[in-house]
Amino acid sequence: MTLIKSISGIRGTIGGSTGDTLNPLDIVKFTTAYAMFIRRNGQSRSNKIVVGRDARISGEMVKNVVCGTLMGVGYDVINIGLATTPTTELAVRMSGADGGIIITASHNPRQWNALKLLNKEGEFLTAADGAVVLDIAEKENFEYADVDHLGHYVEDNTFDARHIESVLQLKLVDVEAVKKAHFKVCVDTINSVGGIILPKLLEQLGVEYTILNREATGDFAHNPEPLEKNLQGIMDEMKTGNYDLGIVVDPDVDRLAFISENGKMFGEEYTLVSVADYVLSALSTQSSPSSLNTVSNLSSTRALRDVTEKHGGTYAAAAVGEVNVTTKMKEVNAVIGGEGNGGVIYPESHYGRDALVGIALFLTSLAKKGCKVSELRTTFPDYQIAKNRIDLTPETDVDAILVKVKEMFAADPTAQVNDIDGVKIDFPDKWVHLRKSNTEPIIRVYSEAATMEEADAIGKKLMQVVYDMQ
């Protein structure tokens, strides 16, 4: 049983003993701490908190506990029901709320759930703010409202439509061009909220669609992380030759992966690359182009850097985690950014990963270029990325492992060592990144090179260091 507290929220498995899992008592504890943080930071404007959730089996239970707790602290709750993470982020801004809680464990398996915590801008709390929440939770010096000051509860199911409308209004989304292309797509919505909102988006874009795993039961048909090894069903469906594009999202619809018309993975890493290429190309043709800067995290492909520089922009890297990426994007005035896991962040919409935005921009790009998805893929620099993991034991000393890895490459003149987030070793023709996950009790080992064999080899070299020290 596991409970993880990080910049990605409070995440854990359901059931088990208090303090070790995401159970009702711990849900109350962290929800209360969050509500008290929002009130104490002096930025409460509306006394409203938005709550949205994905379709996980435990979601109804967690939602009831969260909403009741917020009301007990004295906050009015706007429950937007089954909703994507980006929809909930936008709902905070659109409603003028003081914050929001998204009940989702993103790509984690069905036994997990989480509380993702938002500020009044609908953005994830910073690491510093998250630390304050954890401190409040640890001390448990809670204050609840008396009977005359309990919060109120309302349900508002309008935000899916408002989210879609905001996507269609983006300057670089060309609805008419997409409609004229008469696309046929196959979508895997992994038995969650994507099956509710994506058909509505595609209908307004004039796209013919088939939905796999559409029913929002939360009982996922396969491992919900949108990686090739989990997507054989839709890849086989694409091989029938009946579709122009395959679309895959995770349970809360902030991650996005594409499959080419021939049934081959477009590459999760290349979701952001392809969308960024379209955005940068469009902006570079304007009479007075704005900043053409981009940002991704340290575990993302070099292809984004290459594409950015091709268009005359500047690329910057951030530590892993959406809030780290958005912070860097604001710092460098990036026009687009995100993460190599299929997360597209487009500031014109909002500072959050949003699969709906990614889909609309990608389809626009595809319609304007008039090519097949497989042909589009060949226009980008071709790197191969290997994604491995090491399960942690209670005895694993992650800090000692990271020190050991740094020492291994300290004397190598061809290696650039970056330790702002784990340890990343950059070579002229490849890189490897070793870091503790924010969302699972694992060490992630990502590596990239010209071939999968090279990428896997350097990744396995560092994995052996970890095994030797466990």
Q: What is the DSSP string of 316-381?
A: EEE-SSHHHHHHHHHHHT-SEEEETTTEEEBTTTBSS--HHHHHHHHHHHHHHHT--HHHHHTTS-
> Residue 404 half-sphere exposure, CB side, CA atoms within 13 Å?
17
Please pick, among 8, 58, 95, 106, the residue that the annotation labels catalytic. Answer: 106
Three-state DSSP class for 246?
strand
Alpha-carbon distance of 438 to 124, in angstroms, equals 14
Q: Which residues contact 139 (CB under 8 A, 6 or more apart)?
A: none
Closest by CA to 361, choosing from 247, 260, 279, 270, is 279
Angle, helix 159-168 to helix 194-204, in steps of 10 degrees: 40
Three-state DSSP class for 9?
strand
Stated length of the chain: 470
CA angle 375, 349, 76 (to 5 degrees): 140
Q: Max alpha carbon distance in the chain (Å)?
A: 68
Neighbour order of strands in the sheet with 48-53: 3-6, 9-13, 112-118, 99-103, 48-53, 76-82, 153-155
Pair 449, 383: CB distance under 8 Å:
yes
> Residue 80 half-sphere exposure, CB side, CA atoms within 13 Å?
32
Q: Which two tokens stand for residue 97?
A: 């709320």
Three-state DSSP class for 295?
strand
Three-state DSSP class for 273?
helix
Closest by CA to 405, choosing from 455, 459, 456, is 459
Q: Which two tokens stand for residue 199?
A: 């058909």
| Catalytic residue list contains 17 | no
CA distances for 59 relative to 79, 82, 155, angstroms: 13, 9, 16
- Between strands 184-188 and 245-249, the pairing is parallel
Pair 235, 259: CB distance under 8 Å:
yes
Alpha-carbon distance of 383 to 38, in angstroms, equals 43
Angle, helix 355-369 to helix 85-95, in steps of 10 degrees: 110
Active-site positions read 106
